[in-house]
Structure formats: structure tokens, C-alpha cells
Chains A and B, each alone.
Chain A
Amino acid sequence: MALKPSDFKTDVFADWCPGCGDFGIMMALQIALAELGVQPHQVVLVSGIGCSGKEAHNVKAYGVHTLHGRTLPFATGIKVANPDLEVIAIGGDGDGLGIGAGHFVNTGRRNLDITYIIHDNGVYGLTKGQASPTLKLGLKTKAIPKPNINQALNPIALALMTGYTFVARSYAYDVQHLKDTIIQGIQHKGSAFIDVLQPCPTYNDINTKEWYAGEDRKDPETGKARGRLYKLGDVGYDPAVQNEDDDFSKKIAALNKAQEWGDRIPIGVFYKNELEPTFLERIGRRIPFYMTDPPAKQAISDAAGMSNADLTEFFEELMTS
């Protein structure tokens, strides 16, 4: 029976501030799961700490609300032990690119078949508005005492350089685009990274909904706001790597696009490569029965409850008599 987005809702009150981008991401995720036709028990939502971490409790699926920055290690363990589960990792920009940056980099190297959605609003919301790793140098959002003294990192460029094979950006208030991007990410074979731009209505008074909508730069003739976001698909950008020789030029093109910011901010898929073997495939080359009999499904005892391990060969190797 096909499920509706409401089948992925829980009765847990979503306690984000009114106007928070998290609402849009949660909705997009629920619609995406319904459209994908998965059952709640097939999905594990792994979240970090911060406002976005609570999202796991608002989606009806297995929810693992973990530690600050450790979303990806938990997701890795879950996926490696049971590849049949649809593992989606979600977290904030501080969570994934600050305290968890080492995990972000190394998860890319593995090309593990999971989807990672970063809620990118430039601030640490739940601790009341400190600068996050994606806030630009020199900006002074309202809760920080002095302008940001650190350069911002570029999540798209970092993801490209560390091995993610699906790299995309979307916008929390464009639920339709975000939902489509999430579906593509989940369907992608390999590690999918989605950077979701979202206003923080309480603490980021610079990159606001109005700022993204371009209300500060109205067309002098028509008086209409000129939105800052544009879709890569609308300008004929093709992110897909078709053969291995293509890979380098596609990465360079994606990096170029990743540099755009300010008045023109691209959203959509920057890079997509399904030729690269996934971590699960790499394990499967070593353990031929890995995908059909993964760790979580293997029997470890016989009917009488005794261990089924046969240590004879181990002992023979260690034999000294």
C-alpha cells in the first residue's frame, strides 16, 4: 500500500522557531520518503545535535539522535552492519563541518551508500547564535559580539574534494526542489551530500528569507525582487559523469559553480558519479556473501544456542605441536 507523507509524521511537537527552515526540510523529507515508496521500518534517520537533531523525532521511521558531530560514524556503523536499511543522516552545519569535519571528510573517502543532509544556516542556533563554519568572514549576525573572524568553508567544494559522488544544494523554502533533490540523493548509488540553505529567523539576520528572495535588489524597472537562487538545471548544467575520463572535467566544472555566491547562488546537483565503487561493493569484493548475508543477518548460534563458530582452522594455524 502506497504511503502518504502524513504516514511519516509523528505526534511529537516540532519545537523550532516560527519560520525555521527545519520545517521545510522535514516536510520535504516526509514527502520524499512517501514518493519513494519505502516503509517506515526500512528507514533509519540518524541525526546530530542542534535544532536539526530533533528532526529524527518528527519523522516516523527508526530515529537515532546521536552526539554532536557524530552523525556519520553512527550512520556508517548502521549501514555497514545492515546494508538493506535506507540510512539518511541529517545535521547542522556546525555539527557536520565544525566538530564533525573529520567524519565528513572520511565518509566521503568511503563512498558509503548513504544520504547526508546538512542544514546550513551559518549559525549555531540552539546555543544562541554563534558563528558556524559556513558563515562568511566579516559578517556580524545579531547574536555575535564581534564580526566573524574566520573564513567560511565551502561545503560543496569540500564534498567534491573528499569523494562524495553526489553533491547537491537546495533551499529549505523550496520544498519541491528540495524533495526532488532528496529523492535523487537517496536513489544515488554511493555517498550523497545535500547542502540545504536555510534561514535562521532568530539568529541569522543577514542571510534571511528576504535576502535569498532578493528583496534588497529589486528590479528598478519592474520593482520585482530579483531572487538570488537559480537552478543549475535551468542553465543547462550537466553534473553527471558518463565515463571515467569525464570525471576530472566534471569536478572542475562543479568546483567553479561552487564558487558562485552573493547575487547568483546555484542550487541543484553539482556533481554525480555512479561509476565509483561504493564502500559496500568494496567490502563485497572481499567477502563475496556480504550483501546477501550481511553482519546483522548472519546466524551466530545453532538451534541449541551454542556458538556456530568453528575455530579449527584458527587453532591449526596457531598449532605448536
Chain B
Amino acid sequence: MKEVNWMAGGPQGAGVDSAANIFAKACGYGGLYVYGKREYHSNIKGLHSYFHLRISDREIQANVNDVDLLAAFDAETAVRHINEVVPNGGIIVDKEQINSKVFSIPTLPYEYKDELRKQFPKRGINDTVSDFLEDAKAGGAQVFLIPYMDLLKRVASKLGIRKISTVTRMTNVLTIGVSFALLNYDIGLVEKAIKSIFANKPKLIEMNTTALEEAYGYTVQNFGNAFPLKLEKIETTEKRIFLSGNQAVALGKVLAGCRVQTYYPITPAADESEYLEAHEIFKTNTGEASIVVVQTEDEIAAINSASGAALTGARAATSTSGPGFSLMVEGLSWAGNCEVPVVISYYQRGAPATGLPTRSGQSDLKFAINAGHGDFPRIVLASGDIKECFYDAALAFNYAERYQLPVIHLIDKALANSSQTYKIFETSQFTIDRGTTPTEEASNEEYKRFRFTDTGVSPRLPLGTKNRVYWLTGDEHNEIGHISEEAANRTMMMEKRMKKLETADREIPDRERVNFFGDGSSGDVVISWGSPKGGIIEAMSKLNAEGFSLRFIQFRMIHPFPTRFVSHALEEAQNLIAVENNYSGQLAEIVKENTGIETSFRVLKYNGRPMSTTELYDALKRIVTHQAKKRQVLSYGS
């Protein structure tokens, strides 16, 4: 089967997300894999948002530039995405909106209109949506004009609804009906998806199903087999899930035994906490357990309450994004100083400042590694895909407790809000490692929370342990935790804490820190971290088919840096190529700092949109064919 790229777009609040959800689920029921990319404005209602779903009979792990079928809820979507539609592709548009003037669309931003004003005369386009569509037709695309309002009226009359405004929010389902009819897909699977998504809401099921059938029927009748691309279902018995990065992190926390999560609302992190709160009671092998989710007054309270919870022996975490993490920094330093096993899920978004609150970026790596005053140990993880989000979220707690330090788990918005089909995650092998507690003999002596040891790790007891007391302080302290400004103790205590990082570096296996892909002997070595992973792997496989072999090292634990392993792996590298969603190449700088090895090329992107397979293929091909500049800046995305 040829893969299909379907995009649905419309104003926020018009049901773009639920349309994508229904579409993806219907594809899943047909045995197909889906990768979904979600883009939206920092806005509640009215501004443009879209979902790009890539559907295949094989597992896919990134988005591409091409759109085969564009389902536009409104004129703006058609205008904004028409250039992404492939020559044989299709555009589904509201018949009644084609005469609207492009420059009168109030939600199109000034700088966007300005660009169109420059382009239109060159391309000989006047300023109606219709002119725009004609231009696309000339490029080979098919336009399917659908009378949305007529269909909605028919839906209303079938349901016996008088007020048309009650059914206007079914526009999203209309476009699904049209899309699946054009793709000749089994409507029964779509109905099944609607039933599953609106389970226990029979009225919504009826409305959505009626709208779906109306649009599907209309399209078959009027357009028949006009669209060449088809979506074919496949028989499969494999159990699969479709989930977002936010959900994967939440599930990883449940697996790891996280019992307290604190947060302050921020995009794109809050979805994870809300998901956990909605599932606060869950099953265990022997009964039930719970996670208490506390919405705090700010991120300062979030990190410090999480630390407080961790001190009692509960596994505890907090979840935030860049601006929130900035507020957490003092608390992070305290947690480092007091050796608190606290986990911070850090969802990066477009920065600096408020930046691009709903867009992606990877510009907080150096910040995560260096945040906080003073030298103190921490571990920084970065997941490369949604599945890794799950396992890394769980591993973070093991590292935190084994080495008694804060663990920062970096995720980017592209992973948080994208969704992907996977086989059900394997969980039966996940071991809980709670680190060292005092042995029986030791418990007879005076307990010292910060006992000097060879590994730097002191046996840990939670607050409230019977017949013990100890102290914790943000001041420098002695072994039992009282304030100490003594010079010799200070030196030993600094060394004790920092030694834990060496212990972690020695003990944590390389397979949990780096992933390898491609041809191990290739001199062209890509290094990257986070969401570009999937696109790089797909681009490499395309290039491999053309005879270009590359090697890819994906960094999953960036601090402590796997120096020995990486230095060795890069010995034979001729061209080191850093791929990152930021301006400066932060990983490239960290690799240089730790190994002395400088990158030959940097492929960077900082327009707030994730990297696509398409543009990564182009960028890497320019490098292997010796046509690349040292610094390539990618720009795809709307």
C-alpha cells in the first residue's frame, strides 16, 4: 500500500483534534499504522490549527512534508496548506467559502498576508479562495467542493433538530466522511471509531454517525472513484495502541510507581498531569494503587512539594515546560544539595521567554544540564520517540533513587503532542530499583543520612522512619545533616555528592544512554537527540537505498555524558553531523566540550516546527553529495 498523508485543519474549537482522533482510530481498526502531528496556536478558539496524519501499513515514526488529501474546515486552512498538497492530491473545501477574499480572512496574520501580496501577482492569482484553488488545480491537485451547510441541514432534518447551530460542529465529521469516501475506506470501521471515542454518549454517536454517513454517501454519489489514492485495510490480530508523548510519560510514571505528581498549568506539559489525575486510581497485581496529583500555586511550589513528597519515600515527580523550569531552578539546587530523588519531566517548547508556547523546540538542553547555582549532580535524559518517553519516564525514577539526585527528563513538544501507533509496550521486565537502605547491623549505629561512602551514595531512609531522626538543609551540612561551614567537611561533602555522578557514569549501561542506527563503519555520523530521531532514521533508510550509508548516534542520556563510549565511537568519523531543533547546536557544543570533537555540519531548525523526514532527507543528501554548507537551517512547517 502506498502511504497516505491526510491533513485536517480549521479554527481552534472546531473539532480538529477529535476529527484526527476518529480518523486515526478508524485507520487503526483497519490494521494500519498512524503517525500524527498536531499544530495549534496559543489560543482557545478561532485561530488556525491542524493535524497531519501519516498512515501506512508499516510502523512509521515521523512526519513528512507532503499532503495527499487536505480536509479544510474553513477557507484559511485551504489557503495555508495548499502548497503542501502533492500534484495528484486532493483538497476538500466548503463550496460556500470559495468566493471569500483571502485578504479578508481576519485570522491570517499580517506577515502572512504580506507574503501572499508579493506572491499573488507573480503567480497571476487574484484574491479569492477560488483563484487560489484554480492555481492548485493547474498544479495537478483535485478540488472537491462540498456544500457543508446543505449537508448539515440534511443531518439536522434527519435527526429532527431545528437549530442548525447544534449541528454546525459536525463539520469536522463531514470532512472525515468525504475523506474516507474518496479513499474508498470501509465506513464500518469509521463508525466503530466514533462509537469507541464517544462511548456512553449515545446522542453524540448518533449525531456523528449521521453526519458521517451523509457526507460519505454524498461523496460516493458525486465523485465516485475520482480520487486515485486508496486506503486499504489489513487483517491483523496484533494488539496496538495509539498514544501521545504526554500519555506515554504518564504511563511510564505509573509503571515506575510514582505516587505523587505536582504541577502548575503550562503548555505542553499539563496534559500529562491531567491524564494522570483522570486515572488517579489504577490496578496493581494485588489490588489498587493511586497517584495523588497536586496542582500547586506556581512551579516553585511544584518542585519543592515534589521534593517534600520524595523525602517521605514516595516516588514523586513534577512536570513543566521552559518558563516553569526557570522558576524551579532554586528548588533543583536544593534537591541536588540534599540528595533528593525527584523527577522533573521537562517539555521543551519554542523559547526564549514565553516564546512559542504551543510550538516545538530543543533549546533547553544546556539549561537543563547547567540550571541551578553551584556544582551538584543530576541526570539529564532526552527521549527520541514516544516509546522512549514511556521507558525513560520509568527509568528516571530508578536513577533518581539509586543515585539520590534530581533527574530531568527532556521531552519536546513535537513528542508530547504527536501520536503514534505502537504494539502494546512490554512492561513485564521493568524492575524497580530503589537504591540503598541501611543494612540491619548499620541500623544499630547512629544513622547518618549523608554518610561518606566510596560511591558517594549514602544509605537512605525516608522521613518518619521509626526511632531515627536526621536533618536536611540547603546549607552545607555534616553527615547527620546539620549546618556546617567547616572547610574540610565542605570539601568532603562536595566530593561525596559529585562522586555519585562518576558512580552513575560507571554503572549505567551504554544501551540506556545511546542508540545506534545505520552502518557502523560509515564515516558520516549523525548525532542528535529528541524528536528528530524518527525523521533521521527514515531519511537514512531512503539514502541507504540510493547507496549512501550513514551512521546515527542518538543521545538518550546526555548528562553524565557517555564520554568514553562516544569518544571511541567517533574515532573513525570523518563528518560529524549534528541535527537539532535549536539555533546553536547545543548537543554539538556538549559533544565538543566532552570529547574535543567538532562537528563538520550542523542541521538546525528553530521555526517552532519539528523536523520532517522530507527535509532531513534533503539536508543529509546535500551533505553526502558534498553540496552542503556547514550550517543548514531547515524551514518546513506552517
Contacts and interface: CB of A to CB of B under 8 A. Distances in A.
A78 B312 contact: yes
Interface of A: 10, 12, 39-42, 44, 46, 49, 54, 56-57, 60-67, 70, 72-78, 80-82, 84-85, 102-103, 105-106, 283, 286-287, 289-290, 293-296, 298-302, 305-315, 318-321
A81 B279 contact: no
17 contacts: A42-B464, A44-B463, A49-B474, A62-B469, A64-B463, A65-B471, A80-B292, A81-B312, A103-B297, A287-B280, A295-B260, A295-B292, A298-B257, A301-B257, A315-B425, A318-B243, A320-B34
A153 to B, nearest CB: 18
Given A290-B290, A309-B284, A320-B240, A77 B307 contact: yes
Greatest chain A CB density within 10 A among B254, B256, B470, B482 is at B482
Contacts of A313: 282-283
B254 A309 contact: yes
Interface stretch (B22-30, B138-146, B158-166, B548-556): B22-30
A74 to B, nearest CB: 4
B255 A311 contact: yes
Nearest to A109: B297
Contacts of B309: 77-78, 80-81, 295-296
B312 A106 contact: no
Contact of A41 (B286, B292, B311, B469): B469
Nearest to A302: B285
B289 interface: yes
A60 B468 CA distance: 10
Contact of B311 (A39, A49, A64, A106): A64
B534 interface: no
B42 interface: no
A315 B301 contact: no
Given A62-B463, A82-B464, A309-B427, A102 B298 contact: yes
Interface of B: 24-25, 27-29, 31, 34, 236, 238-243, 247, 251, 254-257, 259-260, 262, 279-286, 288-292, 294, 296-298, 300-302, 304-316, 330-331, 334, 394, 421, 424-425, 427-434, 462-475, 481-483
A296 B464 contact: yes
Contacts of B300: 70, 73, 103
B314 A81 contact: yes
Given A44-B463, A70-B304, A78-B312, A305 B24 contact: no
Given A287-B280, A310-B285, A314-B254, A80 B464 contact: no
A300 to B, nearest CB: 3
A289 B259 contact: no
B247 A305 contact: no
Contacts of A308: 257, 284-286, 289
A61 B424 CA distance: 47
Contacts of A106: 296-297, 301
A309 B276 CA distance: 14
B316 A81 contact: yes
B6 to A, nearest CB: 16
Contact of B312 (A72, A85, A321): A85
B455 to A, nearest CB: 20
Given A77-B260, A77-B316, A311-B251, 7 more contacts: A62-B470, A70-B300, A296-B259, A300-B289, A307-B256, A310-B282, A311-B425
Contacts of B475: 65
Nearest to B289: A298
Contact of B282 (A61, A67, A82, A314): A314
Nearest to B262: A77
Contacts of B289: 293, 298-300, 308-309
A78 B313 CA distance: 10
A306 B311 contact: no
Given A44-B463, A64-B463, A65-B472, A81 B298 contact: no
Contacts of B424: 315
A307 B432 contact: yes
A130 B176 CA distance: 66
Contacts of A67: 304, 330-331, 334, 474
Given A78-B312, A320-B240, A57 B471 contact: yes
